Amino acid sequence: MKRLLLFILPILIIVAVVFTVSGIMQARFTEDKLMDDLQRKAKAVNESLEVSARYILINNDLRSAKRLVEGFQRRERLQGCAIYDKEGNIFAITQKFAGWKDKDKPYLKDILAKRVPRGGLENFQEYSVYSYIIPVTDDENNVLGMVEVIYDTSYVFTTLAALWKKLSVSLIILLILILLTMLLIQRQIFTLPVRRLTQWFTHFQKGETEKLKPFEEKGEFGKLISEVEQVALGLRVARKAVTEEAHVRIKEELWTEDKLRDLIHAKLGENAFFVVSNREPYMHVMGDITGTPKCIRPASGVVTAIDPILRACGGTWVGHGSGNADRKFVNSKNKLGVPPGDNRYILKRVWLTKEEEDGYYYGFANEGLWPLCHMTHTRPIFRGSDWQMYKKVNQKFADSILEELPAKNPFIFIQDYHFTLLPNMIKEKRPDATIALFWHIPWPNPEVFAICPYYHEILDGMLGCDLIGFHVQFNCNNFLDTANRLTECRVDTEKFSVVKQDRETFIRAFPISVGGPLSAGPTSLEISEIAKIKEEFKLKDKIVCVSVERIDYTKGIVERIMAIDRFLEKYPQYQGKLVFIQLAAPSRTHIKRYHELISEIDELVEKTNWKYSDGDWKPIIYLKRYFSPEEIKPYYSIGDLCIVSSLHDGMNLVAKEYVVSNTVSGGALILSKFTGAARELTDAVLINPYSIEEFAEAIKFTIEMPKAEKIKRMENMRRVVSENNIYKWAGNIITELVALKKS
Ligand code: ADQ
């Protein structure tokens, strides 16, 4: 619209200026002509008045003079007329103009002296009048006096005003006509072809091949469209070729990025793949010191797991644009290619207001559902206002996804407890969509879940899915029990599915994992990083223990520090020898419970360090900030042992990351038995983090474990993780989905 105005406005201005100038000229001309006419008429009338006035002035006949001026004025439709004597005094004047006498008329003397007529505009009372005076002489050319006729000029101005009105109306009509013509031309030669081209692309994007009609555009625009058509056609052919090739290449071997890509192309073909999560995989934030934006990968298990999948197979990830510089990097459709510099897939950012984020994310999802599903004795809070926001945001995401979906059979993979209502919202509008939801956190038993006042709507929303995945079978069983007890449905325990109103949702366990297969070992850059960290924290000859997480009450950080304290207290021979490094990213800091936890950990670290520190040794190095995956990796390599002491955890990816990354130090893993990972990593030293005594003993046991046993246990765990890596996880979900759709 702005561009259109830029184009049309100058034309309208030029036309208006030209029209106004010519209008002014026309008005001037009309005015001159009217005044000329008036003068000519006044002259003629005056001359006939002069003849009668001559005898009256010779005879000094005042009565005749009065009769003459009144009679003349009526006859000639003048405003008035007057007869002057030879001194320039009024001898007789039309009654109406009696006041004319008092008007100062310096030019009268001049007319008498020079004997020349005079005509001109005069102001009298509220009128503008035209006065024409001629001298009256006798036969010897002696001046007898003067006669004057006075005309009203208001009709001249009325005529001019009418002319201006006519001109203005014509100008407005002309401008409107020009505007309409321009809009029509613009629509014909630009808007319609561009609209046709956009529609064509939308059909192409959505795979609606039957609607792809050839273009008939001619000229330069036609050539451009024809080129675009060729590129699009090439793309379609390429997509098909990749799909067919993929069918041929799938073999039973260790799962890799390539194998997953092949599987997705073979199973999904040209059907588009969408991922939805609250957390976006790449976030643009303003650098603290430099003030220039930088791109970071948030500290989130969901991101760690799903990003490699989309990197492998492309698609669209829809997430909340939560970075403070996010808006700077999206196009007009709120999209960008990621990872930055190596665009493998599309990220679509959804914007939330502070109120929406507060109610939906901090409130309902993280103060309600998160503590409800984690049995860590933090009381869930369910506020009605948060629930309203949660519903609103789910609808907002549903709308954002729906406008992206292609015409046929899209695959939508929803992540986590933030979007329980989304499956149904999408399914209602697009029954052809295949929808899976992966629940990354534990699922409690029906008694616990029924605490949530909105359990009915939540279960309804989730049962819009074709498939719901959990990390472990125990969570699947809990979900089936919950559906059975809390909603009207039929649970099929043979097929592990829930049937509600003719729709069947399958419930399956898919233990999530990390990328793989294993790398050969640390790169030279990592080796130099490891050396730097050892130097900085004086780790030479020390037993290094590492832990990595978001600061969350489910992760058992407090219990861990208490266990370190107890271990050093009970086994003082390790004082000065053990260094515990905790990497901790603050998270959900707006929530009071998290805020309190941060202070609690700060205090505990301070107290424990104060209790044991000796010279330049202190037992705990607490690094409270976000670390990029590249920064975390050297810490995994340095760790002689890694402690994961979650009080309750769906899976826990840190345990798996440590196992695949620690390839040099022959490390060991202490793992809480309340994590999903404990079911697979049975070679870890399993602990109950609530029992500080047992925990402290486990630290001693692990440190003193024979090296050969450590190596054996780590190798076993590494094999488990590399055989069940994230590509296999995604591959299994997609295979299951496609199989379920066919059955
Ligand atoms: P999370 O609770 O986020 O995930 P987790 O599985 O431990 O937990 O994953 C955390 C991820 O964040 C890891 O990749 C880790 O490297 C990274 N990270 C940790 N600390 C960091 C720091 N200081 N800076 C930067 N990055 C950091 C949820 C569930 C889990 C489940 C995952 C995946 O709670 O149980 O394993 O989803 O399903």
When pLDDT is averaged across residues 338-357 and rounded to a whole number, the result is 94
Query: What would the pLDDT profile of 375-390 be if each residue is shown by its tens digit?
Result: 999 999 999 999 999 9
Q: Which of 370, 415, 550, 582 to mutate to test the pocket of ligand 1 (most atoms within 8 A of CB)?
A: 550
pLDDT of amino acid 250: 45
When pLDDT is averaged across residues 71-79 and rounded to a whole number, the result is 73
Nearest to 370 by CA among 356, 355, 360: 360
When pLDDT is averaged across residues 652-679 and rounded to a whole number, the result is 94
The radius of gyration of the chain from alpha carbons, rounded to an integer in Å, stands at: 47
When pLDDT is averaged across residues 414-437 and rounded to a whole number, the result is 97
Residue 685's region, left for phi above 0, alpha for psi from -120 to 50, else beta, is beta
pLDDT of amino acid 266: 82
pLDDT of amino acid 190: 78
Cα(221) to centroid of ligand 1, in Å? 52
When pLDDT is averaged across residues 182-208 and rounded to a whole number, the result is 77
Lowest mean pLDDT among 283-297, 578-592, 721-735: 283-297
For residue 242, what are the CA distances in angstroms to 246, 266, 268?
Answer: 6, 9, 12
User: Higher pLDDT residue, 202 or 258?
Assistant: 258
Lowest mean pLDDT among 124-128, 175-179, 411-415, 644-648: 124-128
Ligand 1 in contact with 585 (CB < 6 A)? yes
Q: Which of 553, 554, 594, 653 to mutate to test the pocket of ligand 1 (most atoms within 8 A of CB)?
A: 653
Domains 273-353+401-502 and 524-724 share a fold: yes
Lowest mean pLDDT among 116-120, 273-277, 420-424: 116-120
Please, are residues 121 and 128 in contact by the beta-carbon 8 Å criterion?
A: yes
Q: For strand 316-320 and strand 345-350, is the pairing parallel, antiparallel, or unpaired?
A: parallel
The residue behind tokens 């936890």 is 597
Prior bond of 410 cis (ω within 30°): no
Environment class of residue 4 by beta-carbon count within 10 Å: exposed (0-12), middle (13-18) or buried (19+)?
A: middle
Angle, vertex CA 398, rays to CA 396 and CA 399, nearest 5: 65
Overall size of the chain counted in residues: 743
Tell me: pLDDT of 392 over 90.
yes
Environment class of residue 198 by beta-carbon count within 10 Å: exposed (0-12), middle (13-18) or buried (19+)?
A: exposed
Ligand 1 in contact with 653 (CB < 6 A)? yes
The residue behind tokens 């359990």 is 455
Q: Which of 472, 549, 581, 721 to mutate to test the pocket of ligand 1 (most atoms within 8 A of CB)?
A: 549
> Above pLDDT 90, what percent of the chain?
58
Q: Atom 27, ligand 1: which residue's CA is nearest?
A: 299
Q: Name the CATH superfamily, with its identifier, for domain 273-353+401-502.
A: Glycogen Phosphorylase B; (3.40.50.2000)
User: Higher pLDDT residue, 206 or 636?
Assistant: 636
Please, are residues 54 and 24 in contact by the beta-carbon 8 Å criterion?
A: no
Q: Distance between CA atoms of 345 and 337, rounded to whole angstroms?
A: 6
Q: What is the dihedral of CA 436, 437, 438, 439, to 10 degrees?
A: -160
Confidence of residue 699 (pLDDT cuts 50, 70, 90): very high
Query: What would the pLDDT profile of 125-153 be if each residue is shown by its tens digit?
Result: 777 888 899 999 888 888 899 999 888 88
For residue 733, what are the CA distances in angstroms to 290, 401, 470, 636?
Answer: 43, 21, 11, 29
When pLDDT is averaged across residues 692-715 and rounded to a whole number, the result is 97
Tell me: pLDDT of 287 over 80.
no
The residue behind tokens 């006498």 is 101
Ligand 1 in contact with 650 (CB < 6 A)? yes
State the closest ligand 1 atom to the C-alpha of 514, by its place in the atom list counted from 1: 14
pLDDT of amino acid 235: 64
pLDDT of amino acid 517: 46
Who contacts 739 (Cβ-Cβ below 8 Å, separation ≥6)? none
Tell me: pLDDT of 411 over 50.
yes
pLDDT of amino acid 5: 78
Q: Atom 17, ligand 1: which residue's CA is nearest?
A: 299
Q: Atom 9, ligand 1: which residue's CA is nearest?
A: 301
Q: Which of 598, 628, 652 to mutate to test the pocket of ligand 1 (most atoms within 8 A of CB)?
A: 652
Indicate the domain borders of the chain: 33-158, 273-353+401-502, 524-724
Q: Distance between CA atoms of 211 and 196, rounded to whole angstroms?
A: 12
Strand partners, 431: none
Query: What would the pLDDT profile of 484-530 be if each residue is shown by its tens digit?
Result: 999 999 999 888 999 999 899 999 999 999 986 445 567 888 889 99
Ligand 1 in contact with 652 (CB < 6 A)? yes
Tokens (6 digits) for 82: 């007057």
Q: Distance between CA atoms of 303 and 277, rounded to whole angstroms?
A: 9
Q: Distance between CA atoms of 655 and 665, rounded to whole angstroms?
A: 16
Please, are residues 192 and 224 in contact by the beta-carbon 8 Å criterion?
A: no
Cα(301) to centroid of ligand 1, in Å? 4
Q: Distance between CA atoms of 604 and 694, rounded to whole angstroms?
A: 20
Angle, vertex CA 408, rays to CA 407 and CA 409, nearest 5: 135
Helices (DSSP H) in 463-512: which residue ranges?
A: 473-486
Mean pLDDT of the chain: 89
Cα(576) to centroid of ligand 1, in Å? 30
Q: What is the dihedral of CA 444, 445, 450, 454, to 10 degrees?
A: 40
Ligand 1 in contact with 655 (CB < 6 A)? no
Cα(293) to centroid of ligand 1, in Å? 24
Lowest mean pLDDT among 61-75, 406-420, 544-558: 61-75
Ligand 1 in contact with 371 (CB < 6 A)? no
pLDDT of amino acid 407: 86
Lowest mean pLDDT among 78-92, 198-212, 661-675: 198-212
pLDDT of amino acid 717: 96
Confidence of residue 42 (pLDDT cuts 50, 70, 90): confident
Q: Distance between CA atoms of 72 and 53, rounded to whole angstroms?
A: 11
Tell me: pLDDT of 1 over 70.
no
Tell me: pLDDT of 237 over 60.
no
Who contacts 52 (Cβ-Cβ below 8 Å, separation ≥6)? 68
User: Higher pLDDT residue, 551 or 525?
Assistant: 551
Cα(392) to centroid of ligand 1, in Å? 27
Ligand 1 in contact with 677 (CB < 6 A)? no
Q: Distance between CA atoms of 698 and 572, rounded to whole angstroms?
A: 16
Q: Distance between CA atoms of 643 and 622, rounded to whole angstroms?
A: 14
Element (H, E) at 505: strand 503-509
pLDDT of amino acid 251: 47
Cα(660) to centroid of ligand 1, in Å? 15
Ligand 1 in contact with 627 (CB < 6 A)? yes
Confidence of residue 215 (pLDDT cuts 50, 70, 90): low
Ligand 1 in contact with 303 (CB < 6 A)? no
pLDDT of amino acid 424: 97
Cα(63) to centroid of ligand 1, in Å? 121
Q: Name the CATH superfamily, with its identifier, for domain 33-158.
A: PAS domain (3.30.450.20)
Confidence of residue 34 (pLDDT cuts 50, 70, 90): confident
State the closest ligand 1 atom to the C-alpha of 628, by its place in the atom list counted from 1: 25
Tell me: pLDDT of 705 over 60.
yes
Strand partners, 578: 543
Domain 524-724 has CATH 3.30.930.10: no
